């Protein structure tokens, strides 16, 4: 996978939800008739339908955090619906205040709790936290003296930030403080979870800003439904994107995995070549320095492959990688592969500093060469010919060429005969 294609995938994962957010803003600004949409029961039910789908998907794909967040959002939708139905203007203000404080806090708490089986005993405390937050958001706005207290107090933190941002200052502060905690990536964790939760909470902030001066008269409920639906859709998008990554992307190296490679092979129907790359003496590295260092070596090689311009790279398994090159000139492909091999051999692999937070072997060894150690690879390559025309046959020929490269001294490139 080239740097360009990787950036495009990253943009798609993050950019599409952002574009949808902007689209909602544009729709509300240019379509005054959106104020009539909530009169249709089917439109008002959209958040509840999406929440049910999200909870079921989260449970099916063992993403308990998404399930609990869905329950929290369901309580916010219910409380806001009751506020819209009531005649007291203080009730929506109370719902917005409580939601803007409790929701970001719960997002952060659930973000840092590890995934667990939704039906296990570990989920009970999390469920209780969500239920308690939901109870506060739903019930406190029903208490008269609480609503009156919000209006009676002169505390500026409870006042809306501005005419455009009708969320209390306290809620905006809570959201801003939650963002760094949501975006901080933890070791061995999905790279997208923090980004998606941040986007979902941003949509939620937009939903709570339904009284903004940006919207036309009567659009309050439509604005809330559109933005809260966006918040839920971000969670669904995260579930689907995570499931796709688990199926098609190697977790350690973040290169496409074997399943992605097989799909690419099925689509080949013209001139192409395949190269199989194997790290030399990888077992010795694991035995001498530990499997944690072996993982670092795999990531080191993956970085070199990700930066190549020869073809698309895949992690096949273990210490083997595959490059699929859709290039008419096999000679140019071989030149690129040879340059890749030399580049890997020239670049020293630097051992991770002891201060870095990664698990190390029980008795780590320090290499004599403090500048790092040399990592070499053997490569076997084959192209489509009349004798080997199918992708499976070309792959088998490249694999045989790899064995020849290893038998003939390693750190070399060999082609099929």
Do 288 and 191 lie in a common domain?
no
Last residue of a domain, which of 185, 218, 248?
248
d(CA 383, CA 393): 10
Last residue of a domain, which of 209, 230, 248?
248
In a domain, 197, yes or no: yes
Do 283 and 195 lie in a common domain?
no
In a domain, 55, yes or no: yes
Cβ-contact 233, 204 below 8 angstroms: no
In a domain, 41, yes or no: yes
Number of domains in the chain: 2
Q: What is the dihedral of CA 263, 267, 271, 276, to 10 degrees?
A: 0
- Whichever domain contains 328, its CATH number is 3.30.70.270
pLDDT, position 187: 67
In a domain, 253, yes or no: no
Do 37 and 136 lie in a common domain?
yes
pTM: 0.80
In a domain, 366, yes or no: yes
Do 151 and 15 lie in a common domain?
yes
Do 265 and 221 lie in a common domain?
no
pLDDT, position 125: 92
Do 225 and 287 lie in a common domain?
no
Do 390 and 340 lie in a common domain?
yes
pLDDT, position 169: 93
pLDDT, position 142: 82
In a domain, 152, yes or no: yes
CA-nearest of 400, 1, 408, 43 to 221 is 43
Do 309 and 231 lie in a common domain?
no
In a domain, 392, yes or no: yes
pLDDT, position 373: 83
214-237 residue pLDDT tens: 999 889 999 999 999 999 999 999
pLDDT, position 357: 42
pLDDT, position 55: 95
Do 132 and 187 lie in a common domain?
yes
Do 178 and 264 lie in a common domain?
no
pLDDT, position 241: 87
Last residue of a domain, which of 248, 277, 308?
248
Q: What is the 3 state secondary structure string of the chain? A: CCHHHHHHHHHHHHHHHHHHHHHHHHHHHHCHHHHHHHHCHHHHCHHHHHHHHHHHHHHHCCCHHHHHHHHHHHHHHHHHHHHHHCCCCHHHHHHHHHHHHHHHHHHHHHHHCCCCCCCCCCHHHHHHHHHHHHHHHHHHHHCHHHHHHHHHCCCHHHCECCCCCCCEHHHHHHHHHHHHHHHCCCCCCCCCHHHHHHHHHHHHHHHHCCCCCCCCCCCHHHHHHHHHHHHHHHHHHHHHHHHHHHHHECCCCCCECHHHHHHHHHHCCCCCEEEEEEECCHHHHHHHHCHHHHHHHHHHHHHHHHCCCCCEEEEEECCEEEEEECCCCHHHHHHHHHHHHHHHHHCEECCCCCCCCCCCCCCCCCCCCCCCEECCEEEEEEECCCCCCCHHHHHHHHHHHHHHHHHCCCCCEEECC
Do 240 and 222 lie in a common domain?
yes
Do 294 and 322 lie in a common domain?
yes
Range of the domain at 407: 258-415
In a domain, 136, yes or no: yes
Cβ-contact 68, 126 below 8 angstroms: yes
What does the pLDDT profile of the chain (417 residues) look like in tens digits?
444 555 556 666 778 888 889 899 999 999 989 999 988 889 999 999 999 999 999 999 989 999 999 999 999 999 999 888 877 778 888 899 999 999 999 999 999 888 888 888 889 999 999 999 999 898 888 887 776 776 666 667 888 889 999 999 999 999 999 999 999 887 667 768 889 999 999 999 999 999 999 999 889 999 999 999 999 999 999 999 888 888 899 988 989 999 999 999 998 877 899 999 999 999 999 998 888 889 999 999 999 998 888 899 999 989 999 999 987 789 999 999 999 999 999 988 887 654 444 444 455 555 444 457 889 999 999 999 878 888 999 999 999 999 999 999 999 999 986
pLDDT, position 309: 85
């Amino acid at each position: 996978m080239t740097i360009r294609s990787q950036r495009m995938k990253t943009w798609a994962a993050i950019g599409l939800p952002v574009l949808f957010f902007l689209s909602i803003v544009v729709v509300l600004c240019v379509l005054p008739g959106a104020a009539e949409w909530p009169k249709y029961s089917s439109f008002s039910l959209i958040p509840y339908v999406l929440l049910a789908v999200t909870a079921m998907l989260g449970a099916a794909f063992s993403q308990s955090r998404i399930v609990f967040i869905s329950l929290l959002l369901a309580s916010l939708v219910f409380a806001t619906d009751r506020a819209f139905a009531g005649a007291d203007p203080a009730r929506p203000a109370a719902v917005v205040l409580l939601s803007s404080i409790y929701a970001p806090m719960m997002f952060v708490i659930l973000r840092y709790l590890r995934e667990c089986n939704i039906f296990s005993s570990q989920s009970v405390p999390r469920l209780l936290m969500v239920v308690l937050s939901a109870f506060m958001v739903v019930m406190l706005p029903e208490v008269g003296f609480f609503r009156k207290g919000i209006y009676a107090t002169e505390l500026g933190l409870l006042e809306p930030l501005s005419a455009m941002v009708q969320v209390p200052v306290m809620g905006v502060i809570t959201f801003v403080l939650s963002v760094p905690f949501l975006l901080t990536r933890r070791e061995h964790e999905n790279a997208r979870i923090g980004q998606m939760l941040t986007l979902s909470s941003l949509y939620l902030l937009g939903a709570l800003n339904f009284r903004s001066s940006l919207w036309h008269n009567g659009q309050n409920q439509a604005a809330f439904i559109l933005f809260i639906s966006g918040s839920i859709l971000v969670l669904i998008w995260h579930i689907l994107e995570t499931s796709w990554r688990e199926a098609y992307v190697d977790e350690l190296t973040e290169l496409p995995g074997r399943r992605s490679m097989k799909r690419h092979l099925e689509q080949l129907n013209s001139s192409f070549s395949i190269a199989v790359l194997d790290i030399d003496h990888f077992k010795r590295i694991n035995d001498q320095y530990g499997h944690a260092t072996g993982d670092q070596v795999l990531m080191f090689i993956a970085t070199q492959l990700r930066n190549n311009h020869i073809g698309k790279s895949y992690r096949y398994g273990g210490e083997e990688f595959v490059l699929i090159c859709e290039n008419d000139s096999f000679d140019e492909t071989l030149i690129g592969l040879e340059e890749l091999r030399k580049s890997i051999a020239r670049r020293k692999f630097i051992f991770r500093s002891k201060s870095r937070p990664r698990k190390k072997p029980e008795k780590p060894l320090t290499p004599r060469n403090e500048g790092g150690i040399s990592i070499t690879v053997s490569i076997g390559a084959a192209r489509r010919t009349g004798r080997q025309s199918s992708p499976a046959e070309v792959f088998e020929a490249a694999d045989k060429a790899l064995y020849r490269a290893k038998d003939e001294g390693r750190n070399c490139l060999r082609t099929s005969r």
